[in-house]
Structure 1
């Protein structure tokens, strides 16, 4: 058995300065900034959200700006396989940390390791 749930709203930003984009989204959404440079490479920033809300992550990208979702799980392989059985396709494994996948309807999303200390109450359990 493995677990998963929707965990993160990712704002893909085609910008040169992610810190500036983070300032905009912080003010627009009324969420304080946790960091404008999560990994020290200028690619990820995070806004502060309560534990019962989706995480909001900003990602600097080269492609067109868009929004995508992350699904967190305690078993990347099992969750990716479950989603494939539903019709999704694996696109790429990134940094051995997450799967980029594509829904049958064309939207890209990611399957990631658990992001918080706990999964919380709104958890799906899969056999």
Structure 2
């Protein structure tokens, strides 16, 4: 058995001014910017209420889009479960796997990034791919 849940909504921005993009999304969504932002950072995580899905503004080199991150306690089992549902692996990174849904949408599978995973994750039976 393994567990997973929606972890992050990542807004990918092909931009030279990540802070300007983060300011827009901060104001649009009503989530404050963090107090400290590193000069050369590649992402800015907005301050969402505890337990809510995180919103991350990320600098990328590809076209602008948004993607989801799925948190899991077993990347291998979650990738296998999602492949069984029709998703495919695009690339494997050291700490996460980029996948593509049958609809063409890309998403990432990685370890939990925020609190509350144990209390709110879905439990999956690895043998049958069914939710328990």
Q: TM-score if structure 1 supplies the norm length?
A: 0.90
Matches within 5 A, 1:62-77: 62-77=61-76
Moved more, 115-124 or 5-14: 115-124
Matches within 5 A, 1:1-127: 1-34=1-34, 36-37=37-38, 41-94=40-93, 96-119=94-117, 121-127=119-125
Q: Which runs of 5 or more residues in structure 1 are unaligned?
A: none
Q: Distance in 2 between matches of 1:116 and 1:17?
A: 26
Q: Distance in 2 between matches of 1:120 and 1:19?
A: 33
Query: Larger Rg: 1 or 2?
Result: 2
In the TM superposition, structure 1's runs of 4+ consecutive aligned residues that sit over 6 Å from their partners are none
Alignment root-mean-square deviation, CA: 1.5
